[in-house]
Amino acid sequence: MTFSGVLKHNGRNAVCVRFERGRDYAEGYLPEGTIERDSGFTEEEKAQLAAYMKERQDEILTEARKLNNIKRWFA
């Protein structure tokens, strides 16, 4: 699993979360917590990944904000 810093998605602040398994991938956004793009994952697996994102939402958002702060150092 990887995630972006805070970015704009559909006009709102969001974090893109990406899951990879070999060539398979699934991407979703927080705070929505839904998988929006995928290849190779079953519906059940995508539901599990979405649930995982929501369970870890606070932790992921906290870490994503730190990434934005680091990017400012190099601007």
Q: Which amino acid is at 19?
A: F
Instruction: For residue 21, give the DSSP letter.
Output: E
Residue with tokens 């730190």, as numbered in its chain: 66
Considering the entire predicted model, what is its pTM? 0.87
Measured distance CA(59)–CA(14) in Å, rounded? 14
The yes-or-no verdict on residue 75 having pLDDT over 90 is no
45-56 burial: b if 16+ Cβ within 10 Å, else e: bbeebbebbbee
pLDDT digits (tens, 9 = 90+) for 35-50: 999 999 999 999 999 9
The yes-or-no verdict on residue 71 having pLDDT over 60 is no
Measured CA to CA in angstroms, residue 69 lies from 9, 37, 60, 73, 75 at distances of 19, 27, 15, 7, 10
pLDDT digits (tens, 9 = 90+) for 16-31: 999 999 999 999 999 9
Q: Where are the domains of the chain?
A: 2-73
